[in-house]
């Protein structure tokens, strides 16, 4: 093989390789495509020549991205034979949080019809990752500043705690003034109970002798009429003693708790407070009365708030193992709810509580220009930090506005108030 042939072969092979490289790098293809235009306000860093995926399957490529007035126009080349329906959603997708971008098409329904070649569609707006992170960091900094005492949250907490101290001081003053007299009455009642017990012991012995006809007592009431009357009197005396013991048991059986709930709603940018008294006359049964959604009505709302402010709560409840059922007035309307401890038997996780409430079943009104037609359903979860404090999240009005609230609860037992309720129950003793 002479030199000229070798040079010719080398040039031929080089030309083939060069042509192949140009074909591949130039994105040439024998596949036929049709064009669709998608308009976006922002393509969030979508590059030229990136892929187009329909329901996760690659069906084409992006040919060009241009600015047209205030819109970003993306020219898509889609393989012939691939049908895209008119109600399909066009948006910028990503292979991962830091991965490459592509144009994602979420397929629509056949009934909407097929997009024709050259059609222009409106793309779905997407928030770039860097801007989303910046927005989240800004919100987090605002929340931290609020907690540290630089915002309304801290001011509300200080105001409520000051009011709580004043209420507790007034209650303690009332109890301290009434306690000496109540203690004397209780001591007197204990003395009477002891004497009744001794009397009943003796009367049992007397009745036994009467039944046998022994001694002077038996002789005095040998006739049946006298015996019946004496037995009846002793029975009444025994019933009276049992009644006194029952009342004294109720005095010592009362338990009362002061409860304060703090709720902060980010969308409304406002906070509300619930304050009330939980009264247990006996184990497993309680009454709750208090005020709900307390706030200063003169404060200007920074966001839209759909809650009914400054209402009342009045409920009857039952504690049954892991469940707490209650019904009555919830935020000024009829309703019911249940709190559940899913890990009731587990000492490590029994601090977790799940809450579900339903109320306002006949609601049909407008609030802040928005119509509310569905009953109100709330759901939430909280974790007890200790026996006094718990914190959690709550979703309000799931059928309508779906508002997230951050919640904090303080609950502590006040034995002085329990003592007052127990003392008041002495009035139920029949004369």
* Third-level CATH fold of 255-423: Porin (2.40.160)
Instruction: Beginning with the edge strand found earlier in the chain, give each strand of the sheet holding 89-94 in spatial order.
Output: 89-94, 101-106, 51-54, 57-68, 71-79, 33-40, 120-122
Grouping H, G, I as helix, E, B as strand and the rest as coil, residue 248 is helix
Return the sign of the alpha-carbon dihedral for residues 387, 389, 393, 398: positive
Residue 181: per-residue pLDDT: 60
Q: What is the CATH number of domain 29-126?
A: 2.40.30
* Contact assessment for residue 135 and residue 129, using Cβ atoms and an 8 Å cutoff: no
**Which residue's structure tokens are 């109970």?**
193
- Which residue stretches of the chain have pLDDT < 70? 1-4, 6-7, 10-11, 18-30, 96-99, 126-134, 136-137, 139-158, 160-161, 163-165, 167-190, 192-193, 195-196, 199-200, 202-253, 297, 300-301, 416-431
- Rounded to whole angstroms, the Cα distance separating 171 from 412 reads 14
State pTM to two decimals.
0.46
CB count in 10 Å sphere of residue 229: 11
**Backbone Cα Rg of the chain:** 40
């Amino acid at each position: 093989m002479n030199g000229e042939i070798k040079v010719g072969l080398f040039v031929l092979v080089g030309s083939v390789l060069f042509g192949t490289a140009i074909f591949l790098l130039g994105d040439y293809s024998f596949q036929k495509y049709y064009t669709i235009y998608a308009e976006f306000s922002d393509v969030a860093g979508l590059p030229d020549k990136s892929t187009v995926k329909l329901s996760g399957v690659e069906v084409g490529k992006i040919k060009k991205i241009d600015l047209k007035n205030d819109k970003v126009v993306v020219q898509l080349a889609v393989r012939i034979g691939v049908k895209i329906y008119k109600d399909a959603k066009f948006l910028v997708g990503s292979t991962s949080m830091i991965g490459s971008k592509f144009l994602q098409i979420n397929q629509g329904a056949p009934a909407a019809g097929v997009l024709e070649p050259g059609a222009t569609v409106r793309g779905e707006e997407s928030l770039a990752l860097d801007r989303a992170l910046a927005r989240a960091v800004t919100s987090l900094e605002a929340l931290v500043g609020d907690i540290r005492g630089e915002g309304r949250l801290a001011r509300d907490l200080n105001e409520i705690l000051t009011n709580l101290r004043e209420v507790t001081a007034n209650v303690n003053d009332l109890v301290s003034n009434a306690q000496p007299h109540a203690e004397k009455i209780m001591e007197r009642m204990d003395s009477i109970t002891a004497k009744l017990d001794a009397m009943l012991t003796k009367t049992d012995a007397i009745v036994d002798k009467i039944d046998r006809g022994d001694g002077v007592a038996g002789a005095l009431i040998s006739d049946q009429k006298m015996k019946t009357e004496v037995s009846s009197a002793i029975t009444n005396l025994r019933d009276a003693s049992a009644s006194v013991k029952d009342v004294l048991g109720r005095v010592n059986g009362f338990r009362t708790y002061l409860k304060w709930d703090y709720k902060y709603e980010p969308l409304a940018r406002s906070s509300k407070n619930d304050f009330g008294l939980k009264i247990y006359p006996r184990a497993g049964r309680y009454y709750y009365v208090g005020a709900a959604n307390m706030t200063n009505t003169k404060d200007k709302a920074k966001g839209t708030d759909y809650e009914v402010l400054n209402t009342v709560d009045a409920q009857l409840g039952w504690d049954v193992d892991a469940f707490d059922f209650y019904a009555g007035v919830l935020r000024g309307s009829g309703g019911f709810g249940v709190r559940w401890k899913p890990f009731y038997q587990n000492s490590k996780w029994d601090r977790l509580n799940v809450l579900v409430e339903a109320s306002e079943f006949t609601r049909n009104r407008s609030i802040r220009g928005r119509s509310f037609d569905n009953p109100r359903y709330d759901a939430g979860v909280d974790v007890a930090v200790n026996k006094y404090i718990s914190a959690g999240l709550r979703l309000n009005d799931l059928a309508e506005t779906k508002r997230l609230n951050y919640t904090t609860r303080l609950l502590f037992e006040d034995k002085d108030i329990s003592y007052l309720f127990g003392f008041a129950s002495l009035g139920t003793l029949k004369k």
